[in-house]
Amino acid sequence: MKIFVVGSGKLANAILASGLSFPSCEILPWEPAHQSLNEKAILVHAGSGRQLQECIAYCERTGAILVELSTGLETETLQPKFTLIVCPNTSLLLLKTLHFMKLYGGFFANNEISITESHQASKTSAPGTAYSFADSLRFQHHKVKSIRDPEVQANIIGIPKEYLDKHAYHKIVIKDGTDEVTLETKVLGHNTYAQGVQKIIEAVLKNTFEPRRYSVIDLIEKGLV
Residue 33 CB coordination number (10 Å): 7
What pLDDT is stored for residue 177 in this prediction?
Answer: 96
Indicate whether 136 and 78 sit together in one domain: no
What pLDDT is stored for residue 128 in this prediction?
Answer: 85
Indicate whether 49 and 64 sit together in one domain: yes
- Measured between alpha carbons, how far apart are the two ends of the chain, in Å? 20
Indicate whether 32 and 76 sit together in one domain: yes
Give the domain CATH number at 151: 3.30.360.10
Indicate whether 129 and 97 sit together in one domain: yes
Confidence grade of residue 197 (pLDDT, cut at 50, 70, 90):
very high
How far CA 59 is from CA of 35, 82, 146, 207, in Å, comes to 10, 6, 34, 18
What pLDDT is stored for residue 7 in this prediction?
Answer: 93
Indicate whether 144 and 180 sit together in one domain: yes
What pLDDT is stored for residue 190 in this prediction?
Answer: 78
Quote the pTM value: 0.79
CA nearest 69: which of 129, 145, 118, 26? 129
In tens, the pLDDT along 105-161 reads 999 989 999 999 999 998 888 898 899 899 999 999 999 999 999 999 999 999 999
Whether residue 214 is predicted with pLDDT greater than 90 in this model: the reply is: yes
Whether residue 194 is predicted with pLDDT greater than 90 in this model: the reply is: no
Whether residue 45 is predicted with pLDDT greater than 90 in this model: the reply is: yes
Indicate whether 98 and 178 sit together in one domain: yes
Q: What is the span of the domain harbouring residue 97?
A: 92-189
Indicate whether 158 and 201 sit together in one domain: no
Indicate whether 164 and 81 sit together in one domain: no
Alpha-carbon distance of 189 to 177, in angstroms, equals 37
3-state secondary structure the chain: CEEEEECCCHHHHHHHHCCCCCCCCEEEECCHHHHHCCCCEEEEECCCCCCHHHHHHHHHHHCCEEEECCCCCHHHCCCCCCCEEECCCCCHHHHHHHHHHHHHHHHHCCCEEEEEEEECCCCCCCCHHHHHHHHHCCCCHHHCEEECCHHHHHHHHCCCHHHCCCEEEEEEEEEECCEEEEEEEEEECCHHHHHHHHHHHHHHHHCCCCCCEEEHHHHHHCCCC
**Share of residues in the chain with pLDDT > 70 (%):** 100
Give the domain CATH number at 43: 3.40.50
Indicate whether 168 and 122 sit together in one domain: yes
Whether residue 192 is predicted with pLDDT greater than 90 in this model: the reply is: no
Whether residue 90 is predicted with pLDDT greater than 90 in this model: the reply is: no
Indicate whether 82 and 107 sit together in one domain: no
Indicate whether 62 and 120 sit together in one domain: no
Domains identified in the chain, total number: 2
**Share of residues in the chain with pLDDT > 90 (%):** 76
Starting at the earlier edge strand, list the strands of the sheet with 26-29. 26-29, 2-6, 41-45, 65-68, 84-86, 213-215
In tens, the pLDDT along 8-24 reads 888 899 899 988 889 99
Indicate whether 134 and 53 sit together in one domain: no
